[in-house]
Amino acid sequence: MQLRSLIDRWGAPRGPVLQLDPEAAVGPICTDSRQLAAGQLFVPLVGERFDGHRFLDQAAALGAQAALVQRERAAAVPPGLLHWLVDDTLAAYQHLGLLHRRSLQAPVVAVTGSAGKTTTRELIRAALASLGPVVASSGNENNDIGVPLTLLKAGSESAAVVVEMGMRGLGEIDRLSRTAEPDVAVITNIGTAHIGRLGSREAIATAKCEITSQLNPAGVVVIPAGDPLLESALAQVWTGSVVRVALQDDPGAVSADLLGDWDDQRPSLQVNGRTLQLPLEGRHNARNLLLAVAVARHLGIALSELEQLTVAVPGGRNRRLQQGGLTVLDETYNASPEAVLAALDLLAAQPGRRFAVLGSMLELGESSVELHRRVAERAVERGLDGLVVVSGGAEAQAMAEAAAALPRLAVVDTPEQAADPLANWLRSGDVVLLKASRGVALERLLPLLPPLS
């Protein structure tokens, strides 16, 4: 990207322009004054609790190449700092991400969904590794700041870019799609996460399908087969290619373009006569792997390249820990109803006695009580040996009523309080699942689990 592209977008810069070379490259783009280095383009972002414009003096002193500045903060610009005045620095930052994305030769894959986004992102990253260096979102870089940040990390050596797209309301994924202009879009599922904000699964499906708003017309959407809600929402906005995936015994298998036969004993996935080792446990991850396989095949990767994938997921997701004689399934990072149900199914497949610590699932609105009740009912159906509920109010009451048939049941207010009943219940050889929404901070329980031997 050259400075000329900024001039074309925002006009002539202000400041010491006599030495400006419009053909010069835009320096690395930085939004964090703590990491700013000489020659970088500084973009001060504004949030509820911060304003990067406070650090324009520091940016100038460090030798920033230039800065983008919101018009109402023009007075904060120190003398001698080359700068452009823009209406909104966040929108400008997203446009910089778009300009950089358009300079890339690498395909861009975008991933969204109600559950499994991060896991699927990492599976796709691994599946595309044979192409060369893959740049992908890390941590929670799935929002208005994170998506352009991921795009800006890619360079001429990058073979592919994988961006995760999250949302909490309508219009957000549309904005991210306009920044990334993806070549491939993946929708993992349509569930009930954020239903409290959007009001219905239909609205959630509409929001997720915004990923196609700037999808390459020659690109493809990869989805799980057999979801009429997703199919209906997608048909309203996308007329291009769709690849549907399913496990052989899924209800939607008959309409699938790519089928997999999951063997939970090995664990592995049979696809078109090839045996792919499943790098992450559980049926839900077998389906997520199929989504990644569909992306890889679309980008020209043979199944033989996918037989032994190595995947590292961020902490608190799909993590199996051994603490003495206790096995811990650490799913503390976040939780939606669908993800909790899948985790309970995985727990039920483990040998030995099985326990769960389930915390509140947030942003479920009027459906919250019923959805909490549903996950507690699944705990009973799967024959768990005990359940600790970390919640309060009507949700806790609903879960306690639904799980009353379990041999061991406790309801507590905080993660730390969950340690007491577990200390009385657990013995060597047991397995315990920990899962809750991010706001519960259920990871605080991990160091308090009993040291069994």
Q: Do 260 and 139 fall within a single domain?
A: yes
pLDDT of the residue at 150? 97
Q: Do 262 and 114 fall within a single domain?
A: yes
Q: Do 293 and 336 fall within a single domain?
A: no
Q: Do 324 and 440 fall within a single domain?
A: yes
Q: Is the overall model pTM greater than 0.85, yes or no?
A: yes
Q: Is residue 98 part of a domain?
A: no
pLDDT of the residue at 453? 65
Task: Find tokens 């809600």 and name the residue.
Answer: 229
Q: Is residue 10 part of a domain?
A: yes
Among 254, 236, 237, smallest CA distance to 245 is for 254
Last residue of a domain, one of 23, 56, 87: 87
pLDDT of the residue at 340? 95
Query: Looking at the DSSP assignment, which residues form a beta bridge with residue 331?
Result: 435
Q: Do 204 and 264 fall within a single domain?
A: yes
Q: Do 58 and 115 fall within a single domain?
A: no
pLDDT of the residue at 198? 87
Q: Do 269 and 335 fall within a single domain?
A: no
Q: Which amino acid is at 372?
A: H
CATH number of the domain residue 113 falls in? 3.40.1190.10
Domain housing 417: 319-448
CATH number of the domain residue 386 falls in? 3.90.190.20
Q: Which tokens go with 218?
A: 């020659």
Q: Is residue 395 part of a domain?
A: yes
Q: Is residue 96 part of a domain?
A: no
Last residue of a domain, one of 251, 273, 306: 306
CATH number of the domain residue 22 falls in? 3.40.1390.10
pLDDT of the residue at 395? 96
Kindly report the CA angle at 234 between 311 and 146, in degrees rounded to 5?
A: 45
Q: Is residue 92 part of a domain?
A: no
String of b and e for 186-220 (b: at least 16 CB within 10 Å)? bbbbbbbbbbbbbeebebbbbbbbbbbbbbeeebb
Q: Do 280 and 151 fall within a single domain?
A: yes
Q: Do 346 and 412 fall within a single domain?
A: yes
Contact 12, 1 (CB under 8 A): no
Q: Do 31 and 110 fall within a single domain?
A: no
> What is the radius of gyration, based on Cα positions, of the chain?
24
Number of structural domains (the chain) is: 3
Q: Do 161 and 247 fall within a single domain?
A: yes
Report how far residue 224's alpha carbon sits from residue 428's, in angstroms, rounded to the nearest whole number: 39
Mean pLDDT, 10 residues at a time, the chain of 453 residues: 92 82 91 93 92 95 96 94 96 97 96 94 97 93 95 96 94 97 97 86 95 97 96 97 96 94 90 94 94 98 95 84 92 92 95 96 92 97 98 95 97 97 96 95 94 74
Beta strand ranges found along 344-442 (DSSP E): 354-359, 386-390, 409-412, 431-435
Q: Do 265 and 325 fall within a single domain?
A: no
Q: Which tokens go with 375?
A: 């996950």
